[in-house]
């Protein structure tokens, strides 16, 4: 199953470690996570070509056939340039209620110390049930959407899957702590082919602006180069955290493109 996009390729590899399944349907790849049906980017269709005229309705129908019970609709496009289609297609997607979400795929083969390191926190792996429970609550606090019962269930299931991947030896989850209190966190998972992929870099709202994320990314990267030749980070181009990743040595490599219509 050939996937050009480094972002989606590492997404799929790590989803597979967590129990997701895939089917190559030719024009698209079906990505399915049975254990977490509310996970948009664990249940989607990855198309090999951008949208063309009339494709929006056709692809929605294909998604409905593959995921008849899904509340969302989600498509990936296996591209590196972030082009969803021609301008008319983009308007068609927006008129149908879709959000076009470009992300920057960043890579590093070495890192540098952050410009404003935080030397007060303790940096270590998440190890206990309490650490992971704190990660759950931190994830809800950092959510960039309305937190309802569905989102809480999605987060529980997602973190359970990620913890299982870590405990199976495929990576580590790192935290910055003030005593026993989790302040900032991230995952770094390895695909076994020389790539390490960061997951869910986040800092509790009350702890932001202290240099924690940059210090934690540098700390985890230094650890990661013991198991990987290249590290991959996927970032929102509109969010300030991208500057933190650039400051420690990550450079923009590709644009990853997702198209999603959230549940009503």
Token readout for 108 is 């590093």
**b/e for 117-146, b at 16 or more Cβ within 10 A?**
ebeebebeebeeeebbebbeebbeebeeee
* 50 part of a folded domain: yes
Q: Please check whether residue 135 lies inside any domain of the structure.
A: yes
Whole-Å CA distances, 55 to 26, 50, 78, 88, 255: 16, 9, 16, 11, 22
CATH classification of the domain holding 53: 3.40.630.30
Say if 262 falls within a structural domain. Answer: no
Q: Which domain holds residue 52?
A: 6-104
- Same domain? 96 vs 141: no
Question: Would you write out the chain's pLDDT as a tens digit for each of its 264 residues?
Answer: 789 999 999 999 889 999 999 999 999 999 999 999 999 999 999 999 999 988 999 999 999 999 999 999 999 999 999 888 888 888 899 999 999 999 999 999 999 999 999 999 999 999 999 999 999 999 999 998 889 999 999 999 999 999 999 999 999 999 999 999 999 999 999 988 899 999 999 999 999 999 999 999 999 999 999 999 999 999 999 888 999 999 999 999 999 999 999 998
| 24 and 89 assigned to the same domain | yes
Look at residue 205 in the predicted model and tell me its pLDDT.
96
Same domain, 217 and 134: yes
CA distances from 208 to 32, 142, 149, 213 (A): 34, 11, 26, 8
Is 138 in the same domain as 26?
Answer: no
For the chain, the domain total comes to: 2
pTM above threshold 0.85: yes
Given this model, what pLDDT does residue 191 score?
Answer: 87
């Amino acid at each position: 199953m050939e996937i050009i996009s480094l972002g989606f390729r590492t997404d799929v590899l790590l989803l597979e470690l967590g129990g997701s399944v895939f089917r190559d349907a030719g024009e698209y790849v079906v990505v399915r996570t049975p254990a977490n049906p509310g996970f948009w980017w664990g249940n989607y269709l990855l198309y090999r070509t951008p949208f063309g005229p009339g494709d929006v309705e056709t692809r929605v129908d294909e998604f409905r056939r593959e995921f008849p019970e899904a509340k969302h609709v989600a498509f990936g496009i296996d591209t590196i340039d972030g082009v969803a289609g021609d301008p008319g297609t983009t308007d068609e997607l927006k008129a149908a209620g879709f959000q076009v979400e470009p992300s920057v795929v960043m890579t590093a083969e070495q890192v540098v110390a952050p410009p404003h390191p935080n030397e007060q926190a303790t940096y270590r792996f998440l190890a206990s049930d309490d650490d992971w429970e704190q990660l759950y609550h931190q994830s809800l606090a950092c959510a960039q959407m309305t937190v309802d019962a569905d989102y809480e269930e999605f987060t529980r299931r997602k973190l359970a899957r990620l913890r299982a991947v870590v405990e199976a030896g495929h990576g580590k989850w790192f935290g910055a702590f003030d005593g026993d209190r989790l302040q900032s966190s991230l995952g770094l998972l390895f695909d076994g082919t020389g790539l390490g992929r960061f997951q869910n870099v986040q800092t509790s709202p009350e702890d932001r602006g202290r240099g924690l994320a940059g210090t934690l990314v540098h700390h985890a990267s230094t650890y990661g180069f013991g198991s990987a030749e290249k590290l991959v980070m996927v970032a929102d181009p509109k969010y300030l955290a991208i500057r933190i990743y650039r400051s420690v040595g990550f450079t923009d490599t590709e644009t990853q493109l997702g198209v999603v219509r959230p549940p009503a």
